[in-house]
Structure 1
Amino acid sequence: MSSPNTGGLAVLSALDTARTQMYHVTAIVIAGMGFFTDAYDLFCISTVSKLLGRIYFYDVDRPNDIGKLSHFVNNLVTGVALVGTLLGQLVFGWLGDKLGRKRVYGLTLVMMVACAICSGLSFGKSRTAVIGTLCFFRFWLGFGIGGDYPLSATIMSEYANKKTRGAFIAAVFAMQGMGIMFAGLVSMVVSAIFLRFNHAKAFHDDHAGSTQPASDYMWRIVLMLGALPALLTFYWRMKMPETGRYTALIEGNAKQAAADMGRVLEIDIQADQDKLAQFRSQNEYKLFSGEFVRRHGKHLVGTMTTWFLLDIAFYSQNLTQKDIFPAINLTSKAEEVNALEEVFETSRAMLLVALFGTIPGYWVTVALIEKIGRYLIQLIGFFMMSVFLFIMGLKYNYLKNHGFLFAFLYSLTFFFANFGPNSTTFVLPAELFPTRVRSTCHALSAAAGKAGAIVGAFVVQTYTLDGNVKKIKTALITLAFTNMLGFFFTFLIPETKGRSLEEISGEDGGGGVGGGEGVREVDMGNHPRNKEDW
């Protein structure tokens, strides 16, 4: 059985075979800076949350007791943005399919800029009012961040050529690692500046366990700086044309698609309006239909479950770093340092883990994803994360007294998260599903991931917040188990490398990957696409 391919429609063929050029790089930078901002905004709160406890929950009647956020307030401050992100993913993902990728792409950026600034301006006459205002704005900050996930992934997948598509999408997501690193770097630099300022002014309370008056400015500046990278890319995001695939396959305007993509590719593309019907006819079924379930139901279950399981561990580790660092002697105990020194040490440790564990994993994925494929990278990542988390849980009593070894193993879990499922769970939903529901399906997968992140923030973090050794050991071993579950759920997902998006989804008239019949095919070269071709 033969089927039409994307070569039948000139604009799709041109996109799939285009050489890598400046517009690809521009798209990566524009979408990537959104993810840089996302990660900075989500994770910078970890560097200052202890500071918030010192400032607003200090008891004047207990001068020897350093202020600390309660379990509930800590979870609320660090986790409310994740709730907003989950909802934003679902709303903007659906809007991306209904209204077009570009139409709603700028709105997410506006929300991120406005709410990052407002988070730093949180106000109120009482500590409850300040924390409540902060949580309000961080919820809506998360809502804007949520929209960036499905829209950036979908836009990059629909712009890219089929030979480098995975690397391009992974490169966009790799900017998350840079955002995490800069969250630590910026917090470290700002706290160092205020420390120098405090020493120059010789504040009377600049001693171990104290909280400097300047601390209240410090955390606000860190949060507000998250608006800067998003603001810098707004103009370029607005200049991006709608993706050719959406314009042609959803809006049915092959002429406009050819004109838009011809302009960015700097070539002439035939409109092929008369050939468009055969492609659109393969894309008429809706998300909640038997045809979608037959073709892609298993794939959606696979992308949602693996992202959910991965983010339980990934966000648990990121958001609880500030509590783990003292336990492994990467930072001093709160009573031994003043407030700004505590932020400086926490930020420095976070920066080192990102620099030597997190970032390398992202870029190794970019380098190898088109060579060994998404499927194998995800399996390797889940398996190795399970191994290292299990070792840390089993040998925690020994490792907590050997900080360098613990830090090394801890960094390896981040490396294999990012050279593994943290990257591939973002890439695969942007490739597997038809154009009409691509953004929505990516949003559903990403929202499942954020549900896992919420479990990490509200359940795992609560469980380990008191630093109890037995609880930390139990949590680490449990996280190893969840990652092993992710390893097995990966078998629901097919390999996508080297194929066009229409070939993967079946929009070209073929069966798509797996042929819609539940057959998983690992791409090892030019093998048949569906069962009838064998």
Structure 2
Amino acid sequence: MARREQLQVLTALDVAKTQWYHFTAIVIAGMGFFTDAYDLFCIPPVTKLLGRIYYHVDGHPNPGTLPPNIAAAVNGVALVGTLAGQLFFGWLGDKMGRKKVYGITLMIMVLCSLASGFSFGSEAKGVIAALCFFRFWLGFGIGGDYPLSATIMSEYANKKTRGAFIAAVFAMQGFGILAGGVVAIIVSSAFKAKFDAPAYKVNALASTVPQADYVWRIILMFGAIPAAMTFYSRMKMPETARYTALVAKNAKQAAADMSKVLQVEIEAEPEKVEKSSNSFGLFSKEFLRRHGLHLLGTTSTWFLLDIAFYSQNLFQKDIFSSIGWIPKANTMSALEEAFRISKAQILIALCSTVPGYWFTVAFIDYMGRFTIQMMGFFFMTVFMFALAIPYNHWTHKDNRIGFVMLYALTFFFANFGPNTTTFIVPAEIFPARLRSTCHGISAAAGKAGAIIGAFGFLYAAQSKDSTKRDAGYPAGIGIKNSLIALGVINFLGMLFTILVPESKGKSLEELSGENVEETEMTEEEPAVGYSNRTAPA
């Protein structure tokens, strides 16, 4: 097996010390994920307010409940858009370049966040239809940010701390989830202070004041602010050297761009660039032989993870209500309910979600991706069964704190585990000309899982005990069975993790086989690092 001599510009990136441009790239790429998480996970209090305002039923024990088909549409349409955006922009990022497409996704997010707040109509159907339309395109922009941000950060990073840098970009999701709760609390509190008069305490349904319609709109529109703040910086970023050299075949431009970024002199090597990349395509037998199992591993694990992760996130309010941690809706005003749901989200984010992300940042380049992913799936499985099997025990008011603690631990090990690693690995193990596409395919598989989780959990939590819900009882039977199913799904995630290679400490070209002569590859001689689980010391 013969190796090609590595391009000087790529070697310089692999061995570069951590510099200011690394942190700049993390902030620029990470702010997109901050916005992504904010827009996707600010929806629980919004759906409660929509139910109160547009689907009010006199005497209903749970006045904030949207009809199942409406709730599924509002929760799921952004996920469908995200899936489409991941596939489209992932492909486009490999065709046109990462930088050219990067600003488009952010602009879509800004415009559609604002437009979501202007979802006006003369009746409920018109408002919901407009909201779903804009949230689909919001999701489309969010979807494009996944493959582009991951690919850009992986191609800028050095090989020693690449995992931490990509994980730091993804960790901005935690702050986005936190910000969604904080903004909802601030906005609902501001209106609640003015309109939460004693008269409203008597009849909670009467407390859905017209001004509550402003609250959900303001919450959604706020997502445009952080995205808009980084648009100029995205446009100023140079194209990654790996795309410019290995895909666009422009050695001089790659050397010039990285000389400015790294502040060192880098020689252009056009003769090496012409030989530097293998030519097989995504649907070729050669790709199937080299990376087929890898792509199966990244898609299946992300698919299974997102079924569990999005089910837990999008329907926290239903779980907390069913165990009595959040009071019954008919005992609260609309703004009070939005406040309490957001407060619960913040508590979970502070105690488990955000720390989980940053534990991954701290340990991923020491423990490795494979170990962290396997560990995360294992503990998520354990805690889900610990919640589900004795579920009736947890619904007792004296045991609610224990339930919340175990529930929080599932989020901690999701983020100090597969929720982060499934984002990192696809940006490392595929060839440069297919890297964004393969990451987009892997991420889209995840969103397919999220759609199944969001829609499936919604109906599973309601269908088996709809009569009890109408009578005012919590949806205990459906919730329990859903938690058991999520435990099984996490266990399957452990099994499919076996297909995912370890990428710790290796260059991107070593992982993808781009530094290996194509004519020398045989069935018996896979590229360096393909079958090894552990990185060289």
TM-score, normalization: structure 2? 0.94
Matches within 5 A, 1:316-327: 316-327=311-322
Change (3 A) 1:478 1:81: same
Q: Distance in 1 between matches of 2:166 and 2:223?
A: 23
Across the aligned residues of Structure 1 and Structure 2, the Cα RMSD in angstroms comes to: 1.8
Matches within 5 A, 1:126-525: 126-199=123-196, 202=197, 205=200, 207=202, 208-209=204-205, 210-280=207-277, 282=278, 284-401=279-396, 402-465=399-462, 467-509=474-516, 515=526, 520-525=531-536
Q: Distance in 2 between matches of 1:59 and 1:408?
A: 34
Q: Secondary structure at the match of 1:359?
A: helix
- One-letter amino acid of the counterpart of residue 267, structure 1: V
Deviation at 1:66, TM superposition (A): 2.5
Q: Distance in 2 between matches of 1:347 and 1:382?
A: 27
Q: Distance in 2 between matches of 1:74 and 1:143?
A: 20
Aligned to 2:4: 4
Q: Distance in 2 between matches of 1:415 and 1:63?
A: 36
Q: Distance in 2 between matches of 1:63 and 1:303?
A: 45
Q: Distance in 1 between matches of 2:290 and 2:81?
A: 31
What CA deviation, in whole Å up to 9, does each residue of 1:61-108 have, x standing for no partner?
A: x58872531011011111110000000000000000000001110000
Range 207-216 or range 67-76, more displaced: 207-216
Deviation at 1:241, TM superposition (A): 0.6
- One-letter amino acid of the counterpart of residue 531, structure 2: R
Q: Distance in 2 between matches of 1:140 and 1:111?
A: 7
Q: Distance in 2 between matches of 1:468 and 1:44?
A: 23
Deviation at 1:399, TM superposition (A): 1.0
- One-letter amino acid of the counterpart of residue 36, structure 2: D
Q: Secondary structure at the match of 1:499?
A: coil
TM-score, normalization: structure 1? 0.94
Q: Secondary structure at the match of 2:401?
A: helix
- One-letter amino acid of the counterpart of residue 317, structure 1: Q
Deviation at 1:337, TM superposition (A): 0.6
8 Å contact kept, 1:514–1:520: no
Change (3 A) 1:64 1:364: closer
Change (3 A) 1:190 1:287: same
8 Å contact kept, 2:168–2:361: yes
8 Å contact kept, 2:44–2:317: yes
Q: Distance in 1 between matches of 2:141 and 2:198?
A: 40
Q: Secondary structure at the match of 1:278?
A: coil
Deviation at 1:5, TM superposition (A): 4.5
Deviation at 1:468, TM superposition (A): 2.5
Deviation at 1:275, TM superposition (A): 1.4
How much identity, in percent, do the aligned residues show? 59
Where does structure 1 lack aligned partners over 5 or more consecutive residues?
527-534
Change (3 A) 1:455 1:443: same
Deviation at 1:248, TM superposition (A): 0.5
Give the alignment partner of residue 98 of structure 1, picking from 75, 79, 95: 95
Verify: 1:56 aligned to 2:84, yes or no.
Answer: no
Deviation at 1:524, TM superposition (A): 4.4
Q: Distance in 1 between matches of 2:262 and 2:268?
A: 15
Q: Distance in 1 between matches of 2:258 and 2:93?
A: 19
Q: Secondary structure at the match of 2:526?
A: helix
Regions of 4+ moved over 3 Å: 62-65, 202-207, 510-514, 516-519
Q: Distance in 1 between matches of 2:258 and 2:41?
A: 36
Aligned to 2:72: 75
Matches within 5 A, 1:104-115: 104-115=101-112
Aligned to 2:29: 31
8 Å contact kept, 1:5–1:509: no
Q: Secondary structure at the match of 2:160?
A: coil
Q: Distance in 1 between matches of 2:378 and 2:123?
A: 48
- One-letter amino acid of the counterpart of residue 522, structure 1: R
The alignment covers a number of residue pairs equal to 519
What CA deviation, in whole Å up to 9, does each residue of 1:128-174 have, x standing for no partner?
A: 00011000000000000000000000000000000011100000000
What CA deviation, in whole Å up to 9, does each residue of 1:416-453 have, x standing for no partner?
A: 00000000000000001000100000000000000000
